[in-house]
Amino acid sequence: MPVSLSFRLDGKVALVTGASRGLGAGIADALQEAGATVAGTSREPKSAAQVAKRLGSVPVVMDVTDVASVRAGVDRVASEFERLDILVNNAGLNIPQGVFDVDEASWDAVLDANLKGTFFAAQAAARHMVASGDGGRIINVTSQAGVVGIEERSAYGASKGGAVLLTKVLAIELAQHGITVNAVAPTFVATELARGTLENPEWRERILSRIPLGRVGEVEDVAAATLYLASPAAAMVTGHTLLVDGGWTAW
């Protein structure tokens, strides 16, 4: 089989969860720029409408912690565009807490958003991909915290580590259907979600001291990695976690 070096996504339909801001917005824009028709989700109807207007798509209200909401959102996109080729599981949550401060509600909220939501969105999308017979791409936005321990992130690290292993299991099971499943694992990225941590001088110094490239990530860094995994150029890549961490985990 000839190897494709194309990063174009013309004719493909993509769904990006949590696309109203930050990584999700950047990833959705990158996929659209590469030629895909892109729908993005948000938990709030007003925000979902804004995402749809920006992408020229349909509004998709989705709460990734609610399985019925996840299935309805995925089904809507597949029905509206008569196919679904790419799913990017981006929506997630982090509640930084020290080990003695973690409470049950926070633990459940983080695991539900980052792990349960990822699985059931992948399950719903894969059903449409299998039914189409055209294969597909599933990309899970995990974190370097799923590969290496980071203080004050017990629940977050557990959820992202689970998502890394989930990526491998899904890749094995779905390969027979021509569906690749991979993950992108960023370091700290300059987004609104990370602002509080990055504006803390002690934390910023700690973070930069662990990144050999000497800077935090930008949204474009993660969007580019995601685009690669969604593209024909990554046809032989599955079950892999692509670290976008500036060398943090190379120590």
pLDDT in tens, the chain (251 residues): 566 789 999 999 999 999 999 999 999 999 999 999 999 999 999 999 999 999 999 999 999 999 999 999 999 999 999 999 999 999 999 999 999 999 999 999 999 999 999 999 999 999 999 999 999 999 999 999 999 999 999 999 999 999 999 999 999 999 999 999 999 999 999 998 888 899 999 999 999 999 999 999 999 999 999 999 999 999 999 999 999 999 999 99
Quick check: 152 and 96 in contact, CB under 8 A? yes
Say if 8 falls within a structural domain.
no
Looking at residue 5, its pLDDT comes to 84
Say if 198 falls within a structural domain.
no
CATH value at residue 25:
3.40.50.720
Strands (E), the chain: 13-16, 37-42, 60-61, 86-89, 136-141, 179-186, 241-244
Looking at residue 193, its pLDDT comes to 83
Looking at residue 170, its pLDDT comes to 99
Say if 197 falls within a structural domain.
no
- With b for 16 or more beta-carbon neighbours within 10 A and e for fewer, the 2-18 pattern comes to eeeeebebeebbbbbbb
Total of domains in the chain = 1
Say if 35 falls within a structural domain.
yes
Active site residue 156: yes
Say if 101 falls within a structural domain.
yes
Say if 3 falls within a structural domain.
no
Looking at residue 2, its pLDDT comes to 67
Structure-token pair, residue 193? 């979600």
**Cα(186)–Cα(102) distance, integer angstroms:** 24
Looking at residue 1, its pLDDT comes to 57
Strand-pair partners of 181: 138
**Cα(229)–Cα(180) distance, integer angstroms:** 9
Q: What is the pTM of this model?
A: 0.97
Give Cα 7 to chain centroid, integer Å: 18
Contacts of 83 (CB under 8 A, 6+ apart): 13, 128, 132, 134
**Cα(167)–Cα(180) distance, integer angstroms:** 9
Say if 209 falls within a structural domain.
no
**Cα(171)–Cα(238) distance, integer angstroms:** 6
Quick check: 73 and 60 in contact, CB under 8 A? yes
**Cα(126)–Cα(132) distance, integer angstroms:** 10
Say if 208 falls within a structural domain.
no
Q: Which of 156, 162, 180, 238 is catalytic?
A: 156
Domain with 110 in it: 13-191+218-243
